[in-house]
């Protein structure tokens, strides 16, 4: 299982940074852009011969982190 984390608040550079598995990261000006990229990344990485379950871990305005599948369905733990 691999997680892609998307925080609620921007980082010190006033953006949202999403790590790219295998190295690197991508910076976004808005949380919506970061969420869209994280979702696309999770879906892409779940396909293929060595597919590993990918989940989005999204921080809410209340500071709570919530887990979602690559189909944006909540994961019950």
- What does the pLDDT look like over 36-76, one tens digit per residue? 999 998 888 777 645 568 899 999 999 999 999 888 899 98
- What does the pLDDT look like over 2-45, one tens digit per residue? 889 999 999 998 999 998 877 899 999 999 999 999 999 888 87
pLDDT at residue 68, rounded to an integer: 94
Nearest-angstrom CA–CA distance, 56 and 74: 9
- How many helices (H) does the chain have, and how many strands (E)? 1, 5
pLDDT at residue 2, rounded to an integer: 84
Indicate the pTM of the whole model.
0.83
């Amino acid at each position: 299982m691999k997680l892609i984390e998307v925080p609620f608040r921007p980082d010190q550079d006033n953006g949202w940074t999403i790590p790219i598995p295998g190295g690197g990261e991508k910076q976004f000006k808005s949380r919506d852009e970061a969420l869209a990229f994280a979702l696309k990344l999770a879906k892409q990485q779940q396909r293929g011969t060595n597919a590993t379950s990918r989940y989005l871990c999204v921080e809410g305005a209340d500071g709570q982190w919530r887990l979602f599948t690559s189909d944006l369905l909540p994961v019950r733990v």
